Structure 1
Amino acid sequence: MIARPPLFLPLLALTALLVLAVPVLTDWVPLHRADRALSETFRGYGDHRPGLVSALRILTDVAATIPFLAAGGLAALTLLARGRRAAAVFCATVTGTVPVLWGLAHWLLHRPRPLDGFVTVTSNGFPSGHTSNAAAAALVVVLLAWPRLARTGRLVVVTAATAFAVFVGLTRVALLAHWPTDVLGGWLLALVVVPLVAYAVRERAPARAG
């Protein structure tokens, strides 16, 4: 069974994402200035800690597209093998949809990334793909685990999932792979997509199939 998230959550996230996109894409000076200030703070910190930067380069790729697709596909197959068809469809749909959406946004919006970051990336920046992947994976885990856990278990899962999504987002900023607003956009994209997919799957599948 898949937990039913509050309906206002994806609606609120979509509104916030659209509101954020306007100043981001028009290069609104106050927002761009804040982005640059925070990025330069991380640049100064990272310049003196090459070991930490090297570690973050490795850790951030846990949410890269290939690991995300592999993990999502494996999870979907495992759920299907256990007879949880709705959960498998939910997992597979999120896994297939999220990279397509942020990839489409990169192609349409053409927001450049910070210059001279600690990683070499040639694609556009808004929203952050790694962050979208991480947040989507975290939300999937929470929604699948929620109905099967007691209160303490739910707290543990939500805390761990939130920490993972936040950590990956912070690594993208710390490595100057993205502006902070790119990361915020990635979190918001996941908050739009995952609950909507959950609603769609719940409507089409009987409760016993999840």
Structure 2
Amino acid sequence: MIARPPLVVPLVALAAFLALMAVVVGDWSPVERLDTALSEDLREYGVDHPDLVDVLRVATDVAATLSYVAAGVVAMAAFLLRRHRREAYLCAWVTVLVPALWGLMHWALHRPRPPDGFVFVDSNGFPSGHTSHAAAAALVAVLLLWPRLARRGRTLVVAGAAAVALFIGATRVLLLAHWPTDVLGGWLLALTVVPLAARAATARHGRE
């Protein structure tokens, strides 16, 4: 079973994502100043806390592309073996679409990352891929578990999923791998793709 999000959720997320992308690509100065100010404050904090930076360098890779795709393939295969087709479709589409979309935007949009970050990544920065992966995986977990749980369980799952998505996003900013707006873009991308994939998966199953 998969929870079917209302269509308004991905539509609002998509509108917000497109607006944010326009602001980022247009180099709107108020947003640039805010991004720079927050990143410079975190640079000072990271310099003063090198042990924390070392921990975050390891923790953030939980949401790297290879880990995300591997987890998605395993989940899809497990659902197929149990003949849970809707769940397998959802995992397959999210595993493919999220990396493909942020990868396309990294290629097409010129958005340099913060200079001299605590990790080196030689690519454009909008939106954050690690953040997109973490948020997408968290949303999939919520949609898969929601129909199977009572109110208390749902609250715990939503809280845990939000914590994972927020934590990975925070690591990308703290490590100066991304600007804060890159991370916000990653969250919005996942909030657009996953609900649409869930609705497509449930609609496809209904026709079979």
1:107 aligns with 2:107: yes
| CA shift for structure 1 position 58 | 0.2
Supply the AA of the counterpart residue of 2:51: G
Q: Alignment partner of 2:117: what SS?
A: coil
- Tell me the residue number matched to 2:175: 175
User: Aligned pair 1:66/2:63, yes or no?
Assistant: no
Cα displacement (A) at 1:26: 1.2
Deviation readout 1:102-149 (Å, 9 max, x if unpaired):
000111112110000000100110000000000000000000111111
Gaps in structure 1 of 5+ consecutive residues: none
Task: Give the corresponding residue for 1:123.
Answer: 123
Cα deviation 1:137-166 (Å, max 9, x = unaligned)? 000000011111111111111100000000
What TM-score results when the alignment is normalised by the length of structure 1?
0.97
Match of 1:201 in 2: 201
Q: Which residue of 2 aligns with 1:26?
A: 26
- The 3-state SS of whatever aligns with 2:120 is coil
TM-score of the superposed pair, with normalisation by structure 2: 0.98
Instruction: Give 1:135's aligned residue.
Output: 135
Deviations 1:18-66 (A, max 9, x none): 1111111111111000000000111000001111000000000000000
Sequence identity (%): 63
- 5 Å-filtered alignment, 1:149-160, equals 149-160=149-160
Q: Which amino acid aligns with 1:141?
A: A
Q: Is 1:146–2:149 an aligned residue pair?
A: no
AA aligned opposite 1:84: H
Quick one: distance in 2 between partners of 1:188 and 1:182? 10
Structure 2: distance between partners of 1:151 and 1:109:
42
Q: Which amino acid is the alignment partner of residue 51 of structure 1?
A: D
Q: How far, CA to CA, are the matches of 1:204 and 1:92 in structure 2?
A: 13
Question: Aligned equivalents of 1:82 and 1:152: distance in 2?
Answer: 27
**Structure 2: distance between partners of 1:114 and 1:70:** 29
Which amino acid counterpart does residue 165 of structure 1 have in structure 2?
A
1:84 is matched with: 84
Which runs of no fewer than 5 residues in structure 2 stay unpaired? none
CA deviations over 1:63-117 (Å, ceiling 9, x no partner): 0000000011111111111221110111111011100000001111121100000
Cα shift at 1:206: 3.3
Q: Which 4+ stretches in 1 moved above 4 angstroms?
A: none
**Alignment root-mean-square deviation, CA:** 1.1
Q: How many residues align?
A: 208
> What is the alpha-carbon distance in structure 1 between the residues aligned to residue 149 and residue 83 of structure 2?
19
In structure 2, C-alpha distance between the alignment counterparts of 1:6 and 1:81, rounded to whole Å: 29
